[in-house]
Amino acid sequence: MKTLKIGENTFELADSIINDLKASENLGLLKCIQCGMCTSVCPAASHTDYDPRVIVKRVLDEDDSLISDDIIWNCFYCYSCHSVCPVNNSVCEINQILRQKSIEKVDGIRKIASFLAYGDSFLELGIGSIPNDFFNELIKDIGEEYFELKIHLDDIREELGLGTIILPENDLNDIKKILKKTGFTDRLTKIRRVKKDEEDTR
Amino acid sequence: MNNNHFSRYAPKSSIDIGVFLCRCGGNISDTVDIERLKSSIDAKVVKDFENLCSLKCQKNIRDIILEEDLDRAVIAACSPITHEKTFRNHVAPLNPYLLEMANLREQCSWVHSDSDKATDKAISLTNAAVERVKYARPLDTIVRKTKKSAAVIGGGISGITAALSLAKQGVKVDLIEKKPSVGGNMIKIGKVFSPEKLAEECALCLFNPLINEAVQHDNINIITNAEVKSSERKAGNFNLLVEKKPRQVWVDRCTACGNCAEVCPIDVPNEWNENLMMRKAIYKPFPQSVPDTYTIDEEHCIKCGNCEKVCNMNAINFSMKTEVIPLNVGSVVIATGHKGFDLKKRPEYGYTRYDDVISQMELARIMGVNGPTNGKLQRPSNGEIPRRLVMIQCAGSRDEKPEGKRYCSKVCCMVALKHANFIKHYYPETEIIICYTDMRTPGMYENYFRYGQSNKIKLIRGRPGDVTRKNGNLIVRVEDTLRGEQLEIETDMIILSEAMEASDGTLEVAKLLNVGLTEDLFVKEKHSKIKPVNTDIEGIFVCGTAQGPKDITDSVSQANAAASKVSELMNGGLEIEPLIAEIDHSECKLCGACIDSCKYKAVYMYDERISVDPIACNGCGICVAKCKNNAIEIMGQTDSQIYAMISGMLKDKKDGERRILVFLDYIGYVAADNIGVNRIPYPESVRIIRITSINRLMPKHIIHAFENGADGIFLGEYPDNVVYSNIQEKVHEFKTQLIKNGIDPDRLMYYKVYAPYFRGLAKKFYEFDKQVSKSLDKLEAVLYKASSKDI
Ligand code: SF4
Ligand code: SF4
Ligand code: SF4
Ligand code: SF4
């Protein structure tokens, strides 16, 4: 049996979420009535043992282990819970904030390491693009058209009068400066390091 | 001193004042030197007594007033809160308002121990009363006679109950109902539950006798098919114009045989049956309608004349016109009820998309013997008995999404249980599942909840997210939160427990009568704890679901409460202290600023004249400051009286003495008295002046006080939420004015007073006294510097 010791039942975790930059104004976290409406519409809950209502419960119970719990990575930000919650809570937003907290530790970085290529593409080309790693999967999912599209992208763009997708040198430099200033570049470096360590130990 | 400020009620050239001092059996005289006090008062008669409040003294005072032919009296004794009423009687034959009291006990002898200083203060307190009484005017208590008649708007259970109670207390009642028949929502629900008998009883059988009693009562005039179109307040009464739509059927001829409806070619959805079946354009809403007569629905009738031809009674007449009925009544009771939440606003539940998703009210009609299926439980889609039925609670309630209602509708848990128990009784094979967020069955209702459990109603704790259809079944998706499991429930029928919301009639009537609404759009009660049936307009009351979600039991008690509040106003009339706003019609330019400013909605325009409702007005004085034309005075607190009081309090101030004027409202004054009763000392500099509200004060008063020697001004008032924002504005205005006049704003302060925290008030007096002294020291230093420069 667990003993709830005096002074143990605080709202620090909840407060840190409510006050996070990412949380919408008047996030109804503290008002959650545990009705389960979010869970009833959550696709992640239908396919895994993830339960958005329980996420809220654990936050309100000051359960810090949540931050390093793999379960928070099951949500895929569909916002269904967000749109039905009767007290304007949003498990979707809560998850985003919890993951940031996790990324501040090594746990989370491991989780996002495979997305590194997205970031790299911003650094190199100034635009987002699908990492090569995912290429074959996408062809499987979408079909040969995807392959065709990728191969003939430049021709298609030209035909549509859209010009090349490559950014001019000046703009690219500006973007790089912004990414540097905002800490994006540093963050990528950090992720790369963790990823490398991981590969090395393996 | 500039006498020009003083307003039109100047004192007559010579006024003979008598000052009666009370020793209070030593309570006052042990600290205050009565002989020195007596010799310092300038009045025709100054006399001291041992116990002024005794009957013997009453005679003495009267004799002296008559012998000396006095015009005014001052009683320097205890707190007016304790004995003002007594002394007002003592000074007869003088008008009771020609008396002024100085509080020498609670606010002097009980809080100060230094006899010399206490005596000085007693002198100034008495002087202030003498100054002020010179400007007193004889006033008469206002006796408000309210007409012994009332209009009750709405003919549901609340309206009928209120009307009957009033009628039995001898009040003439006009009961106005918008629909062609009285009955309201209660007539539709079919069953009511009894938590004692654990049974469902016939609603109509309970309600019908009341309706019949109302019909037969000589004091009740039922006006159906009618709406209030305008309302005007006049001297505590209301002039209403009621528009009665034509029925096109003579009520006294129609025998309700129904021949007409048989030949009417027009079908209209029957609203009394939640549109689940049709009626004709000429119709009687339901079998027990009151009045028991057919009505033509003008909106749908095509005037084919078929009905007219078959009516043996010649009761049909197409040339009836809208009738306008003027009513003059003493009070209005709003009993305009509620309506069901529009479930289309929760599209995820599939209401109207699936035939077998219905509301609780629709289920009530289906279960009603006089309903569309003659009381048989059937699926609307195919007429079969449902094998399973799922009820979804809080549909539209406890929902902060834009279309939802934030509140708990209070009755739907019980309504769901009622229907579930009833169905279980007649259709034991039908499975019932209630998906709930919380089951709210307070008090005795818990009994009925357990009864439902023993009837094998299944309960799942979770609020469904959506309703779909799969393999011919409806599917409710919900999390069983107690197991932490996502669940799809197959079912034949879904009943949504719809929220209650204010009816359209409630909104219309509230707007028309100018009564306030809550954020949730119900009629706002004056105070949810102690004035639950008063609205913010005197003489208008509210009961039933127009005021908020509630069940029949609560509606009935509230209706009775509203009726007794009405009869309080009417029986014997009300005696009101005349200390209210008075309009000087020769100065008034009818700009209406006072109407808008009054937080108590006491000021209104009638017949191109501004009037003040003496019951509603509490003399706060907000309007006085807002009137650009100087056309309003507060009786008993005229400008001249306030100036006189201030000057009196500051008279004969000695060198180096500090005087702080403390203006307190009623609660503040009581708190100050409590300081005295508990003998808690505070600085002698404090001089308390009672006012109705800080809002009565204007910058000119404040400046006048400082010009005449006040060292500081302390304002204390209970932060009543009705006028609190005005107080804040006032204080800000005063501070700005002080700065403009080169006076340190630290010499004025506002403090929120609460009656039980009198110790806090005493402490504040000390602090403020210090603050003022500091500010004065600063000033001294500056002046000293300046003067030394001059030299
Ligand atoms: S829907 Fe909202 S209130 Fe209900 S359990 Fe989920 S987060 Fe809490
Ligand atoms: S946003 Fe995440 S938690 Fe919310 S419904 Fe979608 S998957 Fe579930
Ligand atoms: S009474 Fe029950 S169903 Fe109705 S709103 Fe309240 S909790 Fe929900
Ligand atoms: S504010 Fe003054 S002038 Fe204007 S309507 Fe009221 S009493 Fe008359």
B168: tokens are 């039995």
Q: Which residue of B348, B404, B462 is in closest CB contact with A36?
A: B462
How far is the C-alpha of B190 from the C-alpha of B247, rounded, in Å?
A: 27
pLDDT tens, position by position, B212-253: 999 999 999 999 999 999 998 876 789 999 999 999 999 999
B589: tokens are 């330019």
How far is the C-alpha of B269 from the C-alpha of B276, rounded, in Å?
A: 7
Three-class DSSP category at B679: coil
Q: Name, in order, each residue with C-beta under 8 angstroms of B714's C-beta and a sequence gap of 6 or more.
A: B660, B661, B662, B663, B686, B748, B749, B751, B764, B765, B768
Query: Which of B392, B398, B441 has most ligand 3 atoms within 8 Å of CB, for mutation?
Result: B398
Query: Which of A77, A89, A99 has most ligand 2 atoms within 8 Å of CB, for mutation?
Result: A77
pLDDT on residue B573: 67
Three-class DSSP category at B458: strand
Report percent pLDDT > 90 for chain B: 76
How far is the C-alpha of B451 from the C-alpha of B453, rounded, in Å?
A: 5
Give the ligand 1 atom nearest the CA of A34.
Answer: 5
pLDDT on residue B606: 85
Average pLDDT of the segment spanning B432-442: 97
The burial class, CB within 10 Å (0-12 / 13-18 / 19+), for B342 is: middle
Q: Do B399 and A86 touch (CB under 8 A)?
A: yes
Which of the residue ranges A104-108, B107-111, B475-479 would you say has the lowest mean pLDDT? Answer: A104-108
pLDDT tens, position by position, B570-586: 886 667 788 899 999 99
pLDDT on residue B479: 97
Q: Residue whose CA is closest, atom 4 of ligand 2?
A: A81
Nearest to residue A116, comparing CAs of A201, A183, A202, A185?
A185
Q: Is the ipTM of this complex over 0.90?
A: no
**Is residue B301 within 8 Å of B283, Cβ to Cβ?**
no
Instruction: Reply yes or no on whether the pLDDT at B497 is more than 90.
Output: yes
Average pLDDT of the segment spanning B623-630: 92
Domains, chain B, ordered by start? 1-139 (3.40.50), 145-197+204-245+322-334+503-573 (3.50.50.60), 246-321 (3.30.70.20), 339-498 (3.50.50.60), 575-634 (3.30.70.20)
Give the ligand 1 atom nearest the CA of A39.
Answer: 6
Report percent pLDDT > 90 for chain A: 55
Average pLDDT of the segment spanning B87-113: 92
Which of the residue ranges A189-198, B264-273, B543-552 would you say has the lowest mean pLDDT? Answer: A189-198
pLDDT band at B286 (very low <50, low <70, confident <90, very high): confident
pLDDT on residue B13: 62
pLDDT tens, position by position, B299-320: 999 999 999 999 999 999 998 9
Instruction: Reply yes or no on whether the pLDDT at A100 is more than 70.
Output: yes
pLDDT on residue B723: 81
- With beta carbons under 8 A apart, name residues in chain B contacting A36: 461-463, 478-481
How far is the C-alpha of B366 from the C-alpha of B275, rounded, in Å?
A: 11
For Cα atoms B66, B72, B76, give the angle at the middle one, nearest 5 degrees. Answer: 105
**Is residue A62 within 8 Å of A9, Cβ to Cβ?**
yes
Task: State which amino acid sits at residue B536.
Answer: D
pLDDT on residue B11: 54
Beta pairing, strands B72-77 & B99-103: parallel
For Cα atoms B180, B186, B188, give the angle at the middle one, nearest 5 degrees. Answer: 70
How far is the C-alpha of A129 from the C-alpha of A166, rounded, in Å?
A: 12
Find the B470 Cα to ligand 3 centroid distance in Å. Answer: 28
Higher pLDDT pick, B502 / A6: B502
Instruction: Name residue B576's beta-bridge partners.
Output: B142
| Residue B128: C-alpha distances to residues B641, B661, B687, B691, B706 (Å) | 10, 12, 10, 14, 16
pLDDT band at B12 (very low <50, low <70, confident <90, very high): low
Instruction: Reply yes or no on whether the pLDDT at B4 is more than 70.
Output: no
Give the ligand 4 atom nearest the CA of B603.
Answer: 6
Kindly state whether B399 is in contact with chain A, defined as any CB-CB distance less than 8 angstroms.
yes
Find the B631 Cα to ligand 4 centroid distance in Å. Answer: 6
Q: Do A51 and B479 touch (CB under 8 A)?
A: yes
Q: Where are the strands (E) in B196-293, listed by range? A: 199-202, 220-223, 226-234, 237-244, 267-269, 278-280, 282-283
Which of the residue ranges B44-48, B50-54, B244-248 would you say has the lowest mean pLDDT? Answer: B50-54
Instruction: Find, in chain A, the residue whose alpha carbon is nearest to that of B488.
Output: A40
Which of the residue ranges A74-88, B212-226, B450-464, B573-587 would you say has the lowest mean pLDDT? Answer: B573-587
The burial class, CB within 10 Å (0-12 / 13-18 / 19+), for A8 is: exposed
pLDDT on residue B538: 85
Instruction: Find, in chain B, the residue whose alpha carbon is nearest to that of A45.
Output: B486
Which of the residue ranges B720-729, B742-751, B779-788 would you say has the lowest mean pLDDT? Answer: B779-788
Instruction: Name residue B391's beta-bridge partners.
Output: B434, B495
pLDDT on residue B790: 55
pLDDT band at A137 (very low <50, low <70, confident <90, very high): confident
**Is residue B313 within 8 Å of B254, Cβ to Cβ?**
yes
Q: With b meaning 16 or more CB within 10 Å and e meaning fewer, what string describes B25-42?
A: eebbbebbbbeebbebbe
Give the ligand 3 atom nearest the CA of B414.
Answer: 1
Which of the residue ranges A159-173, B158-172, B334-348 would you say has the lowest mean pLDDT? Answer: A159-173
- With beta carbons under 8 A apart, name residues in chain B contacting A39: 462, 465, 479, 481, 486
Nearest to residue B539, comparing CAs of B614, B635, B623, B621?
B614
B383: tokens are 């007429």
**What ranges do the domains of chain A cover?**
12-104, 110-201
Instruction: Reply yes or no on whether the pLDDT at B298 is more than 80.
Output: yes
If you average pLDDT over each of B289-293, B658-662, B726-730, which comes out highest? B658-662
pLDDT on residue B6: 37
Instruction: Reply yes or no on whether the pLDDT at A202 is more than 80.
Output: no
- Chain CA centroid to CA A50, Å: 16
pLDDT tens, position by position, A148-181: 888 888 889 989 998 888 888 899 999 999 999 9
Instruction: Reply yes or no on whether the pLDDT at B8 is more than 60.
Output: no
Q: Do B480 and A36 touch (CB under 8 A)?
A: yes
How far is the C-alpha of B414 from the C-alpha of B552, rounded, in Å?
A: 11
- With beta carbons under 8 A apart, name residues in chain B contacting A40: 462-466, 477-479, 486-487
| Residue B693: C-alpha distances to residues B600, B620, B726 (Å) | 13, 5, 10
pLDDT band at A194 (very low <50, low <70, confident <90, very high): confident
Three-class DSSP category at B110: coil
Name the minimum distance, in Å, from the CA of A2 to any CA of chain B. Answer: 19
How far is the C-alpha of B394 from the C-alpha of B406, rounded, in Å?
A: 10
pLDDT on residue A79: 96
pLDDT tens, position by position, A15-27: 999 999 999 999 9
DSSP state of B573: -
Average pLDDT of the segment spanning B425-452: 95
How far is the C-alpha of B42 from the C-alpha of B328, rounded, in Å?
A: 54
Average pLDDT taken over every residue of chain B: 92
Kindly state whether B394 is in contact with chain A, defined as any CB-CB distance less than 8 angstroms.
yes
How far is the C-alpha of B743 from the C-alpha of B747, rounded, in Å?
A: 8
Which of the residue ranges B292-306, B358-372, B562-576 would you say has the lowest mean pLDDT? Answer: B562-576
User: What is Dmax (Cα atoms) for chain A?
Assistant: 71
pLDDT on residue B788: 67
Average pLDDT of the segment spanning B613-624: 88
Nearest to residue B659, comparing CAs of B651, B669, B670?
B651
pLDDT on residue B572: 66
How far is the C-alpha of A153 from the C-alpha of B333, rounded, in Å?
A: 75
- With beta carbons under 8 A apart, name residues in chain B contacting A28: 400
How far is the C-alpha of B452 from the C-alpha of B419, rounded, in Å?
A: 10
Q: Which residue of A39, A80, A88 is in closest CB contact with B479?
A: A39
DSSP state of B656: T
pLDDT band at B781 (very low <50, low <70, confident <90, very high): confident
Instruction: Reply yes or no on whether the pLDDT at B133 is more than 80.
Output: yes
How far is the C-alpha of B123 from the C-alpha of B38, rounded, in Å?
A: 8
**Is residue B64 within 8 Å of B18, Cβ to Cβ?**
yes
pLDDT on residue B457: 97
pLDDT on residue B143: 79
Average pLDDT of the segment spanning A5-12: 84
Three-class DSSP category at B78: coil
How far is the C-alpha of B728 from the C-alpha of B717, rounded, in Å?
A: 11
Orientation of helix A135-142 relative to helix A144-151, angle to 10°: 130
DSSP string, B83-135: HHHHHHHHTTTS-GGGEEEEE-IIIIITT---HHHHHHHHHHHHHHHHHHHTT
H or E element in which residue B192 lies: strand B191-194
pLDDT on residue A181: 95
Phi, psi of B400 (to 5 degrees): -90, 5
pLDDT tens, position by position, B15-42: 899 999 999 999 999 999 999 999 999 8
Average pLDDT of the segment spanning A89-109: 92
- With beta carbons under 8 A apart, name residues in chain A contacting B487: 40
How far is the C-alpha of B126 from the C-alpha of B765, rounded, in Å?
A: 21
- Chain CA centroid to CA B179, Å: 28
Average pLDDT of the segment spanning B136-144: 85
**Is residue B119 within 8 Å of B34, Cβ to Cβ?**
no
pLDDT on residue B2: 36
Q: Residue whose CA is closest, atom 2 of ligand 4?
A: B627
B157: tokens are 């259970």
pLDDT tens, position by position, B389-419: 999 999 999 999 989 999 999 999 999 999 9
pLDDT on residue B140: 86
How far is the C-alpha of B234 from the C-alpha of B333, rounded, in Å?
A: 17
